[in-house]
Structure 1
Amino acid sequence: MRVLAAMSGGVDSAVAAARAVDAGYDVTGVHLALSANPQAYRTGARGCCTLEDSRDARRAADVLGIPFYVWDMAEEFREDVVEDFLAEYAAGRTPNPCLRCNEKIKFAAVLDRARALGFDAVVTGHHARLADGVLRRSVDHAKDQSYVLAVLRPDQLAGAVFPLGDSTKAQVRAEAAQRGLAVADKPDSHDICFIADGDTRGFLHRELGSEPGDIVDADTGEVLGSHDGAYAYTVGQRRGLNLTRPAPDGQPRYVLSITPVQNTVTVGRREALAVDTVTAERPVWTVPPPVGPFDCQVQLRAHGEVFDATVDYDAAGLTATLRAPASGVAPGQAIVAYRPDPAGDVVLGSATIAAAARAA
């Protein structure tokens, strides 16, 4: 089988490529150049968009003895990931760019190009398990990335290979060292790869400009402060609210909602964050969807808590009724449904959260 190994320059993708070679696949390495100006994205060993990362990926390919290429995906990445990220924040939502990157770049643009060139699949270093077309959590729950892969359709999963799902991160690093890969001790990437300094609020301000508005109390309607752009806030946020006067009861306030049309950020008491009904749009199923309402577990943010729920759906969207309330559920994030299984939780599908509420 001919496979294309997506090599970011990190330890996970390097070991994934090595395991693909060991499995007897005909492996070609490719590094995705995601920025027209690599220095404009994250520098050092914290991201996947730098010249250093490209060189690290090439050195790993040399050690493995596989062909290596760099593909310029900067235009597609800017349009499908960065612009989507900005549009979502401008609309008062909190997107997850890793979801969009997997959906639009790694398993759409890259997989389509790979298949056109005669490759059978794309290998990545994601920590998730895939067998017989079924996507499951990684054995290392602390590093599990099935949440950000739940946007993939069955035909895309059929063209994916995830060699690391049965290993912990510590095991991957130890294996990299044994293989003589220089990235064995390279730090994991953090934050958002295309925000060079890690300052998301500053990035949004530079890209979207200043849009002053009010921060109001949900209970009284009083103006408690002001903001330079509602996009700088997310549901559940407590710190950095820029309140110029305390709430009437003197208790801390949390962001409850963001209304772009009125350019208003509404804050309130912590208990007002509790929700038990989540509605979502644009569902994507990794397996044939269950018939009618079904019981499952749902995860509402990357590496977040798991909740027992009943999900009902149609072509337009889904509604999840949680057994216990969740807090700080932000529109724009994904809701991912899992089926508990002794062999490892099965990913059923995902959708983009549109709203969340507390039943009367």
Structure 2
Amino acid sequence: MKKILVGVSGGVDSLSAVLYFKNLNFEVFPYFLILSEKNLIEKEKVVQLYKDLGFKIIVEDRRDYFKEKIIDYFIKTYRDGRTPNPCAFCNRLVKFPLLVSKMKELGFEKFSTGHYIRVDRGFLYKGKDKKKDQSYYVSTVKKDDLKFFENSITSFLSKDEIKKFVSGNNVEIKVKESQDICFIKDNYVDFLNENGFFDEEGEMVDDNGKVLKKHSGYYRFTIGQNVKIGGLDEKYFVKKIIPLKNRIVVCKRDGLKVKEFLLTPLEIFSDERKDLKVKIRYRNEEVECEIEDFKGNIKVITKDYIYGVTPGQIGVLYRDDKVVLSGVIEK
């Protein structure tokens, strides 16, 4: 009997993957990683869920490793006046590498997850459910890790179909799914305050350097964020963050529009250069673009203006449903 390791969270998507491979006559080993206090709280319910279903679940506490790779990166990125993407970097540096490492340790040949993605001959594609597609977040994962990935039921079905599949197996989900950053309890500002960031009065200025108001800390802002200027009816948005001066530069919406920006490549899946589109945030629409090599980086030139290009975030280039490359937005 073939054996497979499946990363699980306790939610319906990873559970569907476990049940899917069981139905294909795999011997399935669920793998639950404790990366945050939230995971620790959920551990008992997740373990009980899979034990009740007859699976030998593997649990590992890797909070120290997660702190080193993700929490420290998250804090440093905000300190540098940039906006981190912890989920994308967690997939690249923590979850997928640990899955591959455990898979090899157990002597298995394949692993899987409940991600809405599809992998084919080394290339990464969007999952069938475009509303739930997670290729944006998985685009950062190393090709050498993805080559061991076995497509699951979430590669080919929609979220609604996944729920019906799980219900058809008479399984009750006991862990609430979360869309939030796993290590943030309430909001990221409180988290940063608990980790060495302190309120300090700074200036909010326009493009000409005119002081419009005071603020209480540059780390509270991200590029494109709407800010209210007392006494002014017009909307202003964060255009630039200057950490060393604790200064926020704001502008009207047109001041945010750009047609060019730079990416530092993370993972290059394909050398395709035609018919490309770029996505600069998970919920953003893709925009037609061209790319050029530029001093070790990649210059992205969009067909239409885009708004809120944010240093530190992930930019992903697609050709149709295929991921061409991912990178960190520089400027």
Aligned mate of 1:310, from 278, 290, 307: 290
Q: Give the Cα–Cα distance (whole angstroms) in 2 for the partners of residues 99 and 2 of structure 1.
A: 27
Cα distance in 2 for residues equivalent to 1:347 and 1:56 = 35
Q: With structure 2 as the length reference, what TM-score do the two structures score? A: 0.93
Sort the Cα spacing of 1:284 and 1:100 in 2 relative to 1 into closer, same or farther, 3 A.
same
Report the AA paired with residue 276 of structure 1.
K
Whether 1:254 and 2:237 are equivalent positions in the alignment is yes
Q: Distance in 1 between matches of 2:172 and 2:107?
A: 30
- Judged with a 3 Å threshold, the aligned counterparts in structure 2 of structure 1 residues 131 and 25 are, in CA distance, closer, same or farther, namely farther
The one-letter code matched in structure 1 to 2:12 is: V
1:282-321 deviations in whole A, cap 9, x for unaligned? 3311x2423xx54401111112110000012368321110
Question: For 2:291, what is the secondary structure of its paired residue?
Answer: strand
What is aligned with 1:330? 310
Contact 1:283 1:318 in 2 (8 A): no
Distance 1:178 1:56 in 2: 21
Distance 2:107 2:231 in 1: 63
Distance across 2 between alignment mates of 1:134 and 1:107:
16
Which position in structure 1 is the counterpart of 2:215? 227
Partner of 1:175: 165
CA contact (8 A) 2:207 2:249 kept: no
Of 281, 289, 294, which aligns to 2:271?
A: 289
CA distance in 1, matches of 2:221, 2:6: 37
Distance in 2 of aligned mates of 1:315 and 1:264:
29
Q: Is the 8 A contact 1:294 1:312 kept in 2?
A: no
| Residue of 265, 268, 272 corresponding to 2:255 | 272
- Shift in alpha-carbon separation, 1:124–1:141, aligned structure 2, 3 A: same
Letter in 2 for 1:289: D
1:130-183 per-residue CA deviation (whole Å, 9 max, x = no partner) reads 223221111111111000000122211111234112111111112112212221
Q: How many residues align?
A: 329
1:156 is paired with a residue of what secondary structure? Answer: helix
CA displacement at 1:59 relative to structure 2? 3.3
Distance between the aligned counterparts of 1:181 and 1:215, measured in 2? 55
Task: Using the TM superposition, give the Cα deviation of residue 351 of structure 1 relative to its aligned residue in structure 2, in angstroms.
Answer: 0.3
Paired residue for 2:196? Answer: 208
Greater mean deviation of Cα atoms: 206-215 or 161-170: 206-215
The alignment-based identity, stated in percent, is 28
Structure 2 letter corresponding to 1:219: D
Quote the residue 2:3 is aligned against: 2
Kindly state the Cα deviation for residue 204 of structure 1 after the two structures are TM-superposed. 1.6
Shift of residue 21, structure 1, vs aligned partner:
1.6
The yes-or-no answer on 1:218 pairing with 2:199 is no
Contact 1:283 1:315 in 2 (8 A): no
Q: Which residue of 2 aligns with 1:76?
A: 65
- The code of the aligned residue for 2:123 comes to V
Unaligned runs of 5+ in 2: none
Distance 1:131 1:65 in 2: 31
Give the whole-Å Cα distance in 1 for the aligned partners of 2:297 and 2:150.
29
| 1:150 match | 139
Deviation at 1:226, TM superposition (A): 2.3
- Aligned counterparts of 2:265 and 2:290: Cα–Cα separation in 1: 18
C-alpha offsets along residues 15-55 of structure 1, whole Å, 9 cap, x if unaligned? 111112222322111110113xx2xx4xxxxxxx2423x23
Question: Where does 1:13-162 land on structure 2 (aligned, <5 Å)?
Answer: 13-35=14-36, 38=37, 41=38, 49-52=39-42, 54-162=43-151
